[in-house]
Chain A
Amino acid sequence: MRFENLPCGYATAFAPGLTDPEIIAPDDVVAASGKGVVKRYNVYRNNVTVSLIEALAAIYPAIQRITGIEFFRAMARFHARTTPPTSPLLFEYGRDFPAFIESYEYARGMPWLADTARIERAWLDVYHAADLPVLAGQALATIAPTSLVGVRFKPHPAARIVRSAYPAVAIFAMNRSDGPVSPLRSGEPEDALVTRPEQEVVVSRLPAGGATFLVGLLEGDPLGVAVTAAFQEAPSFDLQANLAGMISAGVFTAVQHGD
C-alpha cells in the first residue's frame, strides 16, 4: 500500500523512517532541482533521535555520569528508537527507561543502575507535581492519643518512595552533581524518599522500616497498621524519628481522622 498517495497520507509515509534508519524517505519527499533527499531526510531523523536522547540525558543525568556519555547515548538511542514518546510532554518521557536499563545487555554489570534511574525519574515527577501545603507538625499534637492509631494521612502530590536492594541513594547523591566520586562505604540496601518540602526537590535515605511505614500510609493504611508493619519488618523501627522525618520531608498534605 502506498500511503503517500492518500490525500493525507504524508505523515504516515514520513513517520516510520524517523525512528528506523533502515527506512528511506518516501517517494513524495523531494528537493529542488532534482537534488537528493538522503541527507535532507536524515536531518529530521537526526533531530528526532538526538532530541530524544537529550531528553533522556536531561531526565537521567546521574545515569549519564555513571555510564559515561558514549555508553549512555548508545543505550538511550536504542530506547528512543524502540520506545519513542507517546505524549508531547517530554517531562513524562522515559518512564520505561529504568526497566529498559535492567534488560540492557551491556548494563548487566551495574545491577544498581536501574534503581538509581528510578530515583531520577521520581525526582522529575516530584519537581513537576502540584503545589499544596505540607502537613504541619502541630497537626499531630492536636489529635487525642487514643485516636492516633486510626489516623490516616492525605499524600502530598510531590512524594515518591523508591525501594532498592542496592545503595541507590548514595549512588544517586554522588552522581547527581559534578562533585567528586568516592568509594561507597557500604553495599547496604537503601530506600529513597523523594519530596519537595519547600521549593526544591529533596532525596533522602529512609531508616529501617521507614519505607514500609510510609508506603502503608501513602496507600491509606491507618497509622496503627503502618506502625505494626514497620515493626514487623524492622524491630529497630523508631516511630518518633520516622514521624518527625515524614513531617519535615513533607510526605503528606493533611490528616484524615478515622474513616
Chain B
Amino acid sequence: MNDSTRVTTVGERGRPRGWTPGAQEGTGTSFKHEHLSAILADGLEGGFFEVHAENYMGAGGPPHRALAAIRGNYPLSIHGVCMSIGGPEALDVNHLARFRDLVARYEPMLVSEHLAWSSHGGTFFNDLLPLPYTKETLANVCEHINQVQEAIKRPILLENPSTYVAFASSTMSETDFIRAVAGRTGCGLLLDVNNVFVSATNHGFSATAYLAGFPLERVGEIHLAGHSEQRDDENEPLLIDSHDRAICETVWNLYRDVISHTGPRPTLIEWDSNLPDWHVLQEQALMARRVMAETEMSLAEELSREV
C-alpha cells in the first residue's frame, strides 16, 4: 500500500489548503463484490479500486469485510454519489458525518463527489440531477464543497456531469462554472470523459472545445465509461450515461487528447450494471494504462525532436 500517493494536503489548523496533484498515474476500476475473489486471485497490479461511498455506510457485515480485503491490497477511491452538492438545500449533516467517518476509516487515495443534486424536500431521488449555472448556484455549490472539505480535512475532486437538459436561467457555461468552483474552493476535478461526450452530443457542442475550456490542470482523476443511446423529441441521438458497457472508440480518442495535455492521471473504468466478467474490466483498465504509456512515449519523442 503506497500511502505517499494520497492527495492529502492538510493545513496547519487542519483546514484543507487546496488540491495539489497527488497520484500521477495508475488505472482502476469500479469494485463490485461479484468480482472480489477474481480480483484477489488476479487483480490489477499497481492499480486502484473505486467504490460508491453510500454502499459502505452500513455499520458492519460483509460489505466492510470485502472493502477491507481490497483496501489491504490496493489504494482506494471513495466516490460519493448522494451528497447533493448541487442542490439548493443545506447538506444533510448526518450524511456528511457518515462520509467523514468512511474517509477516516479507509484512508482513500482519492475522494470525489458530483456536480449534481439528488435529494430535495425530504425525498432522495437516486439520480444525479442537473442545476442551472448562475452566480447563486455557484455560491451555493462552493459553500457545500467547503463544508465537505472542512469535514473530511482534505480537498475533494468534483466530477463534471452528464446532462440531458439545460436551463434557460443559466448565465455561465459549465466549464466556466467548474473553473470558478475549483478556484474558490481549492477542490480538484474529476474529469469524466464519457460525460463530456454524452453532454456534447446531447447539447450539440464540441467535446474538444469543452475540453479546451476545462481547467485540465486541476484534474486529479479521469473517469471512462460506456453509454447507451436513445432518441430525443426530434428523433436525434440522445446519449445516456449508463455505465453498462465497454468504452466507445470516440471516448478513447478524447481520453488520448486529454492525457496528451495533462500527462498521466489516475484513470478509472466505471462499470455499474450489466457487469461483465472481471477480466473484461481488467482489460479496459490495461487499455487505459497502454494509452497513458503510449502518450508519454510520443510526448518524449516530440520533445527529443524539438531539442
Contact = CB atoms under 8 A, between A and B. Distances in A.
Interface of A: 4, 7-12, 14-15, 18-19, 25, 27-33, 35-41, 43-44, 47-48, 51-52, 55, 84-91, 126-132, 157-158, 196, 199-200
Q: In the A-B complex, list the 3 residue pairs whose CB atoms are closest, starting with the nearest.
A: A36-B233, A128-B58, A8-B88
B123 A86 contact: yes
A8 B137 contact: yes
18 contacts: A8-B137, A8-B140, A10-B132, A11-B88, A11-B117, A11-B121, A28-B169, A35-B236, A36-B233, A37-B165, A40-B232, A43-B238, A48-B125, A88-B54, A130-B59, A131-B59, A131-B61, A158-B60
Interface residues of B, number: 55
Contacts of B274: none
Given A38-B233, A131-B59, 11 more contacts: A4-B169, A11-B89, A11-B129, A28-B132, A30-B166, A32-B166, A44-B165, A48-B127, A88-B84, A130-B59, A200-B62
Contacts of A52: 126
A38 B234 CA distance: 10
B231 interface: yes
A85 B123 contact: yes
A84 B167 contact: no
Interface in B52-69: 54-55, 57-65
Interface in B125-181: 125-127, 129-132, 134, 136-137, 140, 164-169
B82 interface: yes
B167 A43 contact: no
A84 B119 CA distance: 11
B233 A37 contact: yes
A201 to B, nearest CB: 8
B290 to A, nearest CB: 33
B233 A12 contact: no
Interface core residue of B118, B231, B234, B236 (most chain A CB under 10 Å): B234
B54 A44 contact: no
B120 interface: yes
A133 to B, nearest CB: 12
Contacts of B118: 88
B95 A88 contact: yes
A88 B120 contact: no
